[in-house]
Amino acid sequence: METIRGSGYQEPFPHLILKDFYNQQELELIWQELDFYTQPEKLFEAKGFGGVVDRTNSHAIALDELYYNNKLRKISNILQVNRKLFNKDVLYGFGKIHPSCAIATDCNCDITKVRYYHNGEYYEPHTDIGFQFLAFSYFYREPKKFTGGEVYFPQFNYEYPCHNNSVIVFPGWVTHGVRGVKIKDSDYFEGMGRYCISSFFGFDLDKKKKKQKQK
């Protein structure tokens, strides 16, 4: 099994940084799907799908609603490849940062969204307190043609730059937003903006009880 190494931080809040997270083969699979979504009428505005209406003008698609059962999930490269986030090195690595993060190893459900930011698109600060922790994976075409797009945490005066093929993992209670993206001389559908695969991890008590009954 592949060994994954990340950098854990307790300050200014518990978070884990994973750089160069996906290998070349995984990246090729991810980009095949990202390119497919970056076409007319594939991604949805926040008011229609997958966003807090009054806080973002970016575009997204909720993969779990599109591929809603195990058979369909196999169609999505992203849903297959991002199982890597359930690697014990990731879960235990995040869980060891702070006692409050230990529940990460017990998470048994998750949802995944693809979000794309082009010129002038942003996400205002908000929380996702319905989930134990979040994992945001960042991608963009190189050479990079945009500025902005950093994920920021206003209550801590902290932000994380948008590094290609990097992941930041943090608790759902932490307020976060995305700086506006600025890009010139690029058509929306060229796909030269900022992509984020957003994974939200939670704990489904009913699912755990059902699994226990099956033993």
Q: What is the DSSP letter of 51?
A: S
Q: Nearest CA to 21 among 213, 197, 214, 211?
A: 197
DSSP 160-196: E---TTEEEEEETTS-EEEPPPEE-S--GGG--SEEE
Predicted TM-score (pTM) of this structure: 0.91
Per residue in 74-113, pLDDT (tens digit) is 999 999 999 999 888 898 999 999 998 998 888 889 999 9
CATH 2.60.120.620 for domain 7-214, yes or no, is yes
8 Å CB contact between 3 and 89: yes
Token pair in block for residue 181: 């993206």
Q: Nearest CA to 41 among 57, 61, 22?
A: 61
Q: What is the structure's pLDDT at 45? A: 72
Q: What is the structure's pLDDT at 206? A: 63
Q: Which residues pair with 8 in a beta bridge?
A: 16
Q: What is the structure's pLDDT at 124? A: 94
Q: Nearest CA to 109 among 17, 199, 15?
A: 199
For every one of its 215 residues, what pLDDT tens digit does the chain have, with 9 covering 90 and above?
577 889 999 999 999 999 999 999 999 999 999 999 998 877 777 655 545 567 889 988 999 999 999 999 999 999 999 999 988 889 899 999 999 899 888 888 999 999 999 999 999 999 998 899 999 999 999 999 999 999 999 999 999 999 999 999 999 999 999 999 999 888 888 999 999 999 999 987 566 445 544 45
E-state strands within 56-165? 59-62, 109-117, 123-126, 133-139, 146-147, 151-153, 158-160
Q: What is the structure's pLDDT at 23? A: 96
Q: Cα(185)–Cα(128) distance, rounded to whole angstroms?
A: 34
Strands 133-139 and 194-202 turn out to be antiparallel
Q: What is the structure's pLDDT at 105? A: 87
**Domain layout of the chain by residue ranges:** 7-214
Q: Cα(121)–Cα(119) distance, rounded to whole angstroms?
A: 6
Q: Nearest CA to 51 among 124, 147, 105?
A: 124
